[in-house]
Each structure stands twice: as structure tokens, then as C-alpha cells.
Chain A
Amino acid sequence: MSETAKPAERQYGAGYKLIGKNYPTPDLYAKVTGQAKYAEDFRADGMLFCKLLLSPMPHARVRHIDAKAALAMPGVKAILTANDLPAPADTLTDNGTVIKASKWGERGLTNEPVYQGEPILAVAAVDELTAAEAIEKIEIDFEPLPFVIDPLDTLRPGGPNPRTDGNIWTRPAAPGSQGPGTPVVTELKWTHADFAEEKHGRLPMGKAPDEWTYGDLDSGFKNAALVLDETFVTPDTSHQTLEPRSAMAYWQNGKVYIHTGTQSTAQTLPAIARWLNISPDNVVFISEYTGGGFGSKITGGVSMIIAALLAKKTNTPVMMRISREEETFIGRARPGFQGRMKVGFGKDGRITALDMFVICDNGPYDAVGDAPSSGRIVSLLYQPQAMRWRGLTVLTNTPPRSAQSSPGGLQGIVIMEPIIAKAGRRLGLDQVAIRRVNCPEGKAPFGPPVQGKRQYATSAFLKEALDRGAEQFKWNERVARTPKRIGTKVRGVGVSLSCYVGGTIGFDGLLVIRPDGRVTFQSGIGNLGTESVIDVHRAGAEVLGVPWEKCEVVWGNTTKNLPFTCVSGGSQTTHAMTRAAYATAMDAKKKLQEIAAKKLGGKPEQYEVANERVFRKGGGAGMSLAQAAKYAIQLGGIYDGHEAPADVHKLTKASVASLAGQGLVAAAKDNYPRDGSTFSYVASFAEIEVDLETGKYDIVDFLASGDVGTVIHPRALGGQMLGRSTLGIGHAIGQKWVFDPHYGQMVSVRFYQSKPPTILDVPVDMQWTALDIPDPETPVGARGVGEPPVAGGCGAILNALSDALGDEVFQRAPVNADTILTSLEAGRPRQHPLMAHI
């Protein structure tokens, strides 16, 4: 790979002092030295430990619990069952709408376990060993109930239901509104005729409750030079964050204090209040460090209330350390898809029609959005001229799912990419060329028409990213290189497009210029490893012209006066919170100018802010930021936080009030316009070498080329580009769940069985590059990047494999020696084309 591809040699942030530059984040030292305290590192006086009793059955009803022997043990303090949980609380939205609590929702403990590993009860004791021994003394009388492991099995005529009242999530139209309403569980069974396709290894396509269409599908297929109809199965993958969802809680003066990991400090607080059915005023949430989220800890996990309720019951602090096995069950996972696509291609490879059908394995609880998301993302990324999407979100008695990096995006793209690779070979087109002709560009449309008009992206420069990547990867040279095979080894190259949502709008920022001239940024972002918790504030410091050494970022504790902040999910943070940071810095700037004008005469606009001063343009009177902060305190009102802007969120207003009088307090809501929805895009390239005699393959080279807006922090960006590519690569090379469907039990419980990728499974010299083109619809041009690379990691590997092995080797991911050898031996795909969890 060329030297110019080395990220360290690239310069970003032309014209900026902070944006686009590398710097050591303030949490770095604590993280690398082990001084950082994660939830399970905290201790409190008299602290108890709790352990969980997990359901041994995939679906059952608890008839009776006998805990007498356990409670009689010395050192055992309390037991918590589902009967001790508060009633599920309704949600009051910011605009005053009440969302009724779902009767199918997850509550932390249950008397009707709907998956193996679901917590039934918890025991608090003086130590974990005592708690574990107590749990072994508990007798539970279960009534086994019917269960479903493979989504297809519940759709069969007469098939069992995973919940007593149904098997699929549907969204009936909300009363009096156009859009879909709250999801409900209903029952759907297909006919024997629907299942006729199954014996041919093709996904049956019975009735689907969700569907949309645009364009003329029939003529799209009629005019196609090539039509492919392919079935593909994607894996269920646990998030497996290295920090499990351990939590510690105690109560003081009626307030609960909770330590646990999260993807949002600010928004976890209301979630805790809702789960405990208490006022948000009575919740203090501490989360300075989080060991990974990937969508599994958007607002932490409901299981944290177990520690809180046991702490209340015992009036003693309680630590709940979640073990790796428990995390496998309660720690969330990506839903696998059984998907089928019929795709029409023109001679030039342009997609004329796309008929997409997906079954999303939802697990037993809340409806995940992966199925609808897959349709929208595929429609954006490949810009089919006509498209129909149909989807089912099917419940099963397998561990709960949640969003995982590129939810739905990964599954949709991974089903689509091998079809494009196959079409390229059939049509004699270069793999970059067939993707280039379908690339979204500019304000690219996506999804179904809404009130007659399709939505569109803010911008897309994916063609440039594809071209840049192809050049740096030396795509043409690699394609032209001969021989492809030496001895038993074959090399293959693959390219994949990828994209995912990259930003939201409308959140708040908050900063204080202190009387000593230092600036404090209040950050409500979760510190989950991406560094956006710190990075976004560099945009604010840049606007104010304050050296970074004089800035401090406050984060990780809801008593520390945090503003209303987005959750770090949907890759929205860098986009949303640089906007808020920019708006807040502009508010500070305006206030500085006003203070200077008040004190030194003239009009505010005659002053500028730079070099830690506010001064007359063209020279003359001025003052330091330190002086201005003192004047702000004298002036009071809007200047020092005694008044807050009317349009900021109530959480922000409370924080502004708490900070009042401490300096110049700037707070603002991101009210900047945005035309379109924000996405980031990646073109991913891989070369693999596979041994035809063993089925073992290695990734030789990998490059991710991103169209991700303005580069804010190159090192953090590189971490996301390669780290998230690796997450996607794991889906191609081995990570999965394995279930025994007869007993409804997972057998791949441990890492060595579920096989997440290791650092030695990816090339040492993995590369990334970014266009650094600002998004035109946001002030500093930055977009989110966490999720967009994920599907590209998986797609590029799968396509490199089919380049090496041909199209008749796999119809599912992951692809391992077993798949490859079985198919090569048989001369055709042989591996159970539709079966889930093998």
C-alpha cells in the first residue's frame, strides 16, 4: 500500500487551530494506566454484592419460588423478585405526550422468562460467594411454555408462539395520525404454500406486515439485462462490550446514586427515573468511563435497577458485577436476518429494480428497528431506480436484541453486496465500476415517499471516497495481478459500499468562561471510547480562540450541570454536538461582544474575540476573557446564568441555574437549519488469501475510505474507521450464536465459542483515509462515523471471498472453513441455506 496512505503523514484541519488536529484527550492517562474507575471499581461503606438467578428455560412461567433455605444462610441479606419491581412507568415526552408503558416491555426481573438466561431474581449478600451459594439453594417450580429459536419456525402453520399473545411486532397506524403508532405484538402464520420455496433453499416470502414501494418495479425488472434472486442469512452477534453492564447503587436522603456504563450521561438519568418509577430529581447518575457500548448501552441497561432496588430494600449500597456469561444473555445483540433480494441490473450495472424481503430475529422484547432501517439504507446506498421493501420483525425466545453499530444497515448491505459482486462478474464489469454507477450523490433520495415526496441526504461524496480508496488500495493493480492461484492458495479482492446515519440536530451546549480566564465545557455525552465526549468541544474552543490548555471538559456525573445532549447512538454525536458546541461558543462570543460594548463603549459588532481577548476591531480598547467573565458576574441576568435562553431544554435550564454566578455562562440550542438527513459513507477494500485444502483464509490487506465530513480528531476518527470495520469483519469471519433448537439453549456462551474477532485476525497494516469534505448542512461540516464503516468491513471480506472462490460457496455469514470445505467438496453451496444459529 502506498506511503501516502499512512494516516500519520496526513494533515487535516487546514485553517484551523484545533479542528482536525491530534491531541491527548484528558481521559487518556487514566485509561492507559488503569486509574480510570469503571462502575465495578467503586466501593461504598458496608457494600453488599448481588448475584442473579437466570432462567434455565427459553420460555416458562414461574409457579413458585422457595428461597427459605437461601434466606436462612448467614450473610444473605435480601432477595429481589419481579414482584418487588415498581409498576412500569409511562413516558412523558418533552412536548407533553404520554406514552403508555408497554405490556411487553422488559423490566429487569420476570416471572415469565422469555429467553434462557433471563434474570428471575437476585440475592444480596455480604459477598458474591455467599450470594452464589444462596442462589444454588433456591428452588423454582417452572411451568415450561412453547418456545421459538428460529424465526421461520413460528411463522409455520401451527408453529409455536414466542410470547403468549403472538409472534411478530406490528405498528398499526396511530389513531388520528398518518404515521405508524406504538408497536404491538400480534400473531402471524404463513401457509404451507408459502413455505414451498424452503425446500429449494430460497427464503419463503409469505405475508409481511410492513411494506413500501417507489418507482415501477415491474418495468425495472423487464428492462434489466440481468436479474438475480438470492437468499442470504446474516449472523446474530453479541455486543460483548469488554465492560459488562455491572452497576453499583446506594440511596442517600431519598436519592438514588447509580454507577454504571452508558452511551449517554445526560439521557440515562430520565431512563433510570422511568424504570424505578421515581422523579428524575431523585436520581444521581455517575458514569465517567464506559467500556464500550456499540448500541447495547444507549441509556445503560434496565438491569441496573436490580442493584438500586436491592440497595433500597437493604438500606445498604449494592454492587452487581455482571459476569461474562450473564453479559452474553442480558448484554444485547444484533438481530440476524434471513433475507432475500431480487435485483435487476442494466448492462452498465445500474440497478433498475430491487425487491427486498427481510425477516428480522427480534428476540423476545422491544421492537428493534433493524428491518425498516435495512430498507432505507439499501435504498440510499445503491439508489435503485425502483424498489419494494417488505419486512417482518419476528419475536423469538433468544436473548434480547438492540441496536448494534449500523442496525439494519449492516444486514441490508451484507445481503446486497454479494449480489452486486455476482452481477459484476456476470455482466463483465469491474467491481468498483458497478458500485460507482450506483453510488448516491449530493442530495440523494432514500426510502419510501412520505406524503408524495422522498426524503434525501444532506450530501454524499461517496464516489470520491470510492475513487480515493481504489487509488490508495491500488485496486486496478490488484485486480490485474496474475496468477490468482499459487499451489493451494487463492487470492481474492473485494470492495463494498457502506453508509449509515451520521447525525441529528436540536441539542444544547453549555460552557462557562471563568473569572480566571479558563473555559469549562459541560459535556453530557457518555465516555464510551469514541472520545466524542471531549472532541466536540474543540469546535467551541476553536470559535472562541481559546488555547486548549485553558479549556476543561466536565463530564460523567449528572450533578455536574450537564446540558441536554443526544445519546451516542446512531452515530449522531459528532454532528449533533459540534453543532451545539458551535452554537454555544457563538452565544459566548455574542455575550463577550456585548459586555465589551457595555464597558468600553461602541456597538457589540465592533468587537472581535481572539487570543483570549475581546477587543475593538482594528485595534484599540479591549479586555481579557478573565475580565469579561468578572463583568459577566457583575451584570448577572443572561450573562452569568441567572437567566437561561427560552428555547433550551429543561435539563439545560436546571444546569444553567446551578452554574449561575460562576462566570460568563453561555448556553444555546442548536437551531441551525439542515436540509436533508445526515449520513456518512465508506468504501471498503479487502484482499484475502484462502487455502483451498483447509478452507482457512487470512485478510491480507484492508482499507476503509470515508466520506465523513470535516475531520475533527484524526486519531479518534482512525480508531472508529478501523475499529468499526473490524466489528463488521467479525460478522464475515466467524462471530455468531449457536443454538440447540430442540432444547432452546445457546451453546456458544463463551468468547471461545462465539468467536468475536481478535487483533490477529485483521492485517497489521490496516489503513483508512477520509475525504475531509465538510457537510454543507452543518456549521463545522462534521458528521458521525461510528457506524458507517461496519457493513463495509463485512461486505469487502465476503466479496473478496467470492472473488477467490466463486459465487457458489456461501449463502450466509460468517464464512469459515466448514462452509468453504463443505461447498468445495460438493461443488455447490451445501450449508443449510436458511437455518438460523448454526
Chain B
Amino acid sequence: MAVIRDVMPAFDLYQPGSIADAQKLLAQHGSDAWVLAGGLDSFDWLKDRIKKPKAVVDLSGIEELRGVRTTTDGIEIGAMTTLTDVVNHPVIKQKYDLLAQAAEVVASPQIRNQGTIGGNVSQDTRCWYYRGGWPCYRAGGNICYADTPEGRNREHAILHADRCVAVNPSDTAPALIALDAKFLLSTSKGERVVDAEDYFIGPDIDITRLHILQPGDLLTAIRISSTWAGAQFYFEKIRDRNVWDFPLMNVASAMVTSGDNIDHIRIAVNGAAARPLRLKAVEDAVRGKPRNAATGEMAGKLAVQGAIPLQFNAYKIPLMRNLVKRSIGGVEEATWTS
């Protein structure tokens, strides 16, 4: 069988108008179904004919999945809300700016107009072997091509690798973990709410997926409670290009201080492992400590403990160390006189 890419295969397109209808369709088609949100991840898979679902269930016509609602205790963001709408939402900007900052550096303006928050957290890895259709562990094979003596792995994992060394490419995921967001899932057994950090899984749990959704499940909304509203936020994404690029790494932190001291803090990093990492040990270590450079240094060193570099990604260790440091101590803005 010869291989050909870049030609979208034929499929049956279903465009349900409600979550219930979507669920029915997914149940009906089982493993032949593919859930389509904004399409930025899906269409790459489909065009390359690596994934060939018989039925595509397009969620874009489901109104109840769109928009940002204020609740008694925070906000609820429909999974199909575009990243542009997340960035521009006044309440998100005002209270949960960490998410707005993260969403604003996703890909490019055009992609943010089309891409959704649900899609951004549920997207697959961009490991160039796996995306190129190589028969690796994640694709059901028995090798990780990136983790071979001559494998090319500058964008791969330094932590929690387990056979596969791919990383999660989401920018909004660490921000949502830092904000202690809850993800609402609609499953065949009913509705389920999970902590943001528990939505994501590494290869040790399931090497073929980056999240917990089972066939037939839908991510319907993301809730952010007011616990971290207006906290001190830090987000930074490092990428090769200034636009239209996945992160080499990113960091998100939310912090509440009293005086100079850190009272509460949540920190997450993505691009270091197959799932966005909440740095609990770092949070514990810095809680009660003064918010300053020394605490940041200590946090950075702690964050990279156990990191194992591959041939081409050793830079991710200082990068993660420094990003975590900055997420606590901040970074001096350079203002030049001319």
C-alpha cells in the first residue's frame, strides 16, 4: 500500500445542534467517529490520511458549547468558544488574565479565530515522527523513533518519559491548571467534573492519548472558580518564531501574597512532558517564602530535578529552570533609553 498525504479522505459529516444529539451520534458510530472542534488539529490528521474516520461529528453548530458565562462563583467557558473570544472576554481579561495571556500566544491570529479552547487543551502531540505517520509506540507500534541514538528530538520531553518522549503542545493547559480550572465532561454515564490537571495523562497511563476522554466522551465546558480571580499571574511561552509556533516550553503561575510572602501558589509547565506538569513540589517549597529572586532560583532548581535530556533537548533543562524561576520572581523589564 503506497502512502499519499495532503488529500482529505471522504467521510460522513454530521453536524448536530445539541450536545445530546452529538452524544447519540458518537454512541452510534463508536470507534469510527471523530470529534471535530475548530479543526486545526483534526484536519492535519485527516489531510495526511493517517486517521481515516468514517464519521466526523462537527461540534461547531452546538450553541450551548459556545461562549463565556458568568456563574455564582466564577465563569464557565463553553468548550467551543474560540481562542480569540477567550482573549477578548472582559471578565477573563479582568480576573483571569493568565488564561487570556496564554490564549493570546497560541499559533496565529487566524488560527485563534478558528481554534477553540476545548480543542486547544485536547489536541494531540506534535512529535514530528508521530505526526509524520511513523509506526511508533503512540501509534500502536513498539519503538520511539525520537528516542533513538540518531533520533531528532529538540522539541521532546525531559520529564516523565515512558517509552514515548512526545510533549503536550497546549498553551492554555498550564494556565488552566494554574487557575485550578475544572473540566466538564459529558459521557455515556452522565456528566463528570475533573480537575484540569487530571484531564491530562502521560504515556504511563495511556500511550495513545494525551487526555482522559474515552470514545463517546465530550469536553463541554471549562469552569474557573473565583478562588484565583485577580491573583498575581505570570505566563511566558518560548517558541522559535514570534507567531504560528508551538511552545518549546511555557510556564503559568498564579500567586497570592501577603506582604512579601507567598501565601498560595499554583505553577504549571508545558512542553516538558507528555502532559502539562503541575509543579506541586515547587508550590509546597515556596509557600510561605518571600517572593524574590532567591526563592525563584530555588524553585527553578527544584523544578528540573530528575530531568533527563535527550541528544538535542538539553537546553530545556535551563529553560525550564529559568521559566519557573521567573514565574515566581518575575523578570525585569528592559527599558532602553534609545
Q: Which residues of A contact B (CB under 8 A)?
A: 51-54, 56, 128-129, 131-133, 135-140, 323-326, 477-478, 481, 486-489, 491, 689, 693-696, 698, 733-734, 738-743, 745, 747-749, 751-753, 755, 757-761, 816-822, 824-825, 838
Contacts and interface: CB of A to CB of B under 8 A. Distances in A.
Interface stretch (B73-81, B191-199, B237-245, B258-266): B237-245
A739 B6 CA distance: 20
Contact of B3 (A56, A695, A740, A753): A56
Per DSSP, chain A at the interface is mixed
Contacts of B10: 129
Contacts of A740: 129, 145, 150-152
B248 interface: yes
A758 B243 CA distance: 7
A407 to B, nearest CB: 25
A752 to B, nearest CB: 7
Contacts of A53: 2, 4
A138 B3 CA distance: 9
Interface string B1-17: 11111111110000000
B242 A758 contact: yes
Interface of B: 1-10, 48-49, 108, 126, 128-129, 132, 145, 148-152, 154, 236, 238-246, 248, 312-315, 317-319, 322-323, 325-326, 331-338
The 10 closest A-B pairs by CB, nearest first: A487-B332, A323-B6, A489-B334, A693-B322, A132-B7, A821-B315, A486-B334, A747-B128, A742-B150, A760-B242
A128 B322 contact: no
Given A135-B2, A740-B151, A821-B315, A760 B243 contact: yes
A694 B319 contact: yes
Contacts of B332: 486-489
Given A324-B6, A817-B315, A139 B1 contact: yes
Contacts of A741: 150
B132 A747 contact: yes
Contact of B241 (A140, A749, A757, A824): A757
A243 to B, nearest CB: 15
Nearest to B52: A136
B9 A488 contact: no
B319 A817 contact: yes
Contacts of B108: 758
29 contacts: A54-B3, A54-B4, A128-B7, A131-B7, A132-B49, A136-B1, A323-B6, A325-B6, A325-B48, A486-B334, A487-B332, A488-B331, A489-B334, A694-B319, A695-B315, A695-B319, A740-B129, A740-B151, A747-B128, A752-B245, A758-B243, A760-B241, A760-B242, A817-B248, A818-B154, A818-B248, A820-B315, A825-B318, A838-B152
Contact of A487 (B150, B154, B334, B337): B334
B146 to A, nearest CB: 9
Contacts, number: 153
A137 B3 CA distance: 9
A323 B242 contact: no
A51 B9 CA distance: 14
A761 B239 CA distance: 11
Contacts of B149: 742
A784 to B, nearest CB: 30
B145 A140 contact: no
Given A491-B336, A760-B242, A747 B319 contact: no
A133 B1 CA distance: 10
Contacts of A133: 9
A268 to B, nearest CB: 26
B128 to A, nearest CB: 4
Given A689-B334, A838-B312, 4 more contacts: A698-B242, A747-B152, A755-B245, A838-B154
B169 to A, nearest CB: 10
A753 B128 contact: yes
B333 A487 contact: yes
B152 A739 contact: yes
Given A477-B338, A740-B152, A748-B128, A323 B331 contact: no
Contacts of A487: 331-334
Nearest to A740: B152
A90 to B, nearest CB: 34
Contact of A135 (B4, B241, B242, B312): B4
A475 to B, nearest CB: 13
A821 B323 CA distance: 13
Contacts of A747: 128-129, 132, 152
B240 A755 contact: yes
B301 to A, nearest CB: 13
A755 B243 CA distance: 10
A695 B238 contact: yes
Query: Which residue of A131, A326, A491, A753 has the most chain B CB atoms within 10 A of its CB atom?
Result: A753
A825 B334 contact: no
B10 to A, nearest CB: 6
A356 to B, nearest CB: 29
Contacts of A54: 3-4
A135 B1 CA distance: 8
Nearest to B323: A694
Contacts of A821: 315, 318-319
Given A486-B335, A694-B323, A755-B245, A824 B318 contact: yes
B9 to A, nearest CB: 7
A481 B338 contact: yes
Contact of A139 (B2, B145, B151, B241): B2
A693 B145 CA distance: 30
